[in-house]
Copies of this chain bind each other. A is one copy, B any other.
Amino acid sequence: MSAEVESFFASRWVEQPPHVTARAGGLPAGFRAAGVACGLKASGAKDLGLLVCDAEDATSAARFTRSSVLAAPVIICQERARLDGLRAIVANAGNANAATGRPGLDAAAKMQGAAAMAAGVEENRVAVASTGVIGVPLDVAPIMRGLLAAREGLRAEGDGDFSDAIRTTDAFEKRVSVEVALPSGTVRLAVQAKGAGMIEPRFATMLCFVQTDAAVTAETADLLLGVCVKRSFDRISVDGQLSTNDTVILMCSGASGVAVAPESEDELRLGEALDAVLRQIALLIVRDGEGSERVGRVVARGGHGPTVETAARAVANSPLVKAALNGGDPNWGRIAQAVGGGLVDAAPLELDIAIEGVPVCRAGAVVPYDVEALAAAVRGPEVEYVIELPGEGAETEVFFSDLSHGYVTINADYTT
């Protein structure tokens, strides 16, 4: 077991459960992974990852983008993979294999078949994932060659290489290994994710692979993943842009010998661990939001769920709010504008706004506040906005990145 690391649960918006300990790396028992450079990235960096579960009776659960323009690997996963019993993942960066038509589907199917051979598992137990540029035909020849190399490199400490291989514009890695003390015994959980732009959940907007050596039924895995995705990737936005390729997969090897029974204390504790880890991973994606310098959290409360959701999304996706967040500018008028513009034809809106606990607007009108103190408060790495709408009972939150010069630089010249 690698050394304990203290820095993973860095956000004040994620509570580290007392029974969860972050470790420096390594996969849970029963998993091996590798990452190699096969030539899809012009830079020569790693661009092909293979992850394998050695347990024949492995269980799994998955979630995918709801975009109507689905990448070929997403279609192959949904149509040709046993999503409750996945044993391998092949993932490439540098080409999304999206909007590539029939040849793209063929390429994704070939990736699935070649990965099954490399992993020594049935074809329908392999998930395929791709990330990168959209609309460019994917040449599978380098992937076929790369899979042979990846097969040779599979190892229990391969999570770092696998994680590197799925990066695109990510400025830093999103990876963690944790130890989870359950009542029935200790299990491990590891996550490798990528994502920095084209991020707006519904639920997800990136690739995220999770492994545990707990023994979990497929039904429980699906339940836990569904709940945790709703509280993590479903609540973040970098740029309001739902991707064609988003994929989240949880795989359970059972190799720890610790069985997690439905509705048990074990299940609760494992769920808490997964929740904390995925929320922090989601926040890392927001923080990496292509050039982002600050992370915002908007909490919206009121009497009507859809209204609260619309208000929170309107704030999180407002380029004016995001630019103000970037500049450390306490321009709360833009919060009011964003909410009002999101909720049309409902004037007058009795809206309260507080920033970092400082009330600035009550019932739609400015209230006196300490301008200097507020200006200082919005210059930190995380800024919280609370919106109160009429009524009570509904509440939601969205985490969002700022809008920076870096975002423009990265996205003004990506393909060329």
Contact = CB atoms under 8 A, between A and B. Distances in A.
A134 B100 contact: no
A405 interface: yes
Interface stretch (A7-15, A41-49, A176-184, A407-415): A407-415
Contact of A200 (B69, B202, B341, B414): B341
A241 B337 contact: yes
A363 B366 CA distance: 51
Contact of A333 (B96, B202, B360): B96
Interface string A313-344: 00001111001101101111110111111011
A24 interface: no
A210 interface: no
Given A67-B347, A323-B408, A414-B331, A244 B340 contact: yes
A366 B324 contact: no
A239 B349 CA distance: 22
A218 interface: no
B366 A333 contact: no
A416 interface: yes
A132 to B, nearest CB: 10
Given A101-B365, A365-B102, A366-B101, A67 B340 contact: yes
Interface string A172-212: 00000000000000000000000001101010000000000
Given A69-B337, A99-B336, A319-B241, A366 B136 contact: yes
B414 A404 contact: no
A323 B284 CA distance: 23
A351 interface: yes
A243 B366 CA distance: 17
A70 interface: yes
Contacts of A361: 99, 135
Contact of A319 (B102, B319, B329): B319
Contacts of A81: none
Contacts of A98: 333, 336-337
| Complex A-B, nearest 3 residue pairs according to Cβ-Cβ distance, in ascending order | A101-B365, A134-B333, A69-B340
Given A104-B365, A134-B334, 6 more contacts: A68-B340, A68-B347, A69-B340, A70-B348, A135-B336, A403-B411
